[in-house]
Amino acid sequence: MHLVIYNRKVGTMAAIKRFLLDEEAASATEYAIMLSLLLMVIVSTVATLGTKANNAFNNAASNL
C-alpha cells in the first residue's frame, strides 16, 4: 500500500511539472490574469459612474 501512495505522489508531481512546463497553461493563466484586471477596472468604473449619477439625480431632485 505504501508503494501505491508513493507512485500516486510521483504521478501527481509529474502532472504538476507537465502543467508548469506547458505553454498553453501559461497562456491560459495570462488570459485569466488579464480578465481579472479588466473586470476590476470595469467594476470600479461602474461604481464611480453610479455614484456620480446618483449625486446628479439627488441634486436635480433637491432643486425641484
The mean pLDDT of the chain is: 81
Percent of the chain topping pLDDT 90? 47
pLDDT at 1: 44
Q: How far apart are CA 3 and CA 10, in angstroms?
A: 10
pTM of the entire structure? 0.54
pLDDT tens track for 2-23: 444 445 556 777 877 777 777 7
What is the mean predicted confidence (pLDDT) over 24-46?
89
Q: Give the pLDDT of residue 25.
A: 67
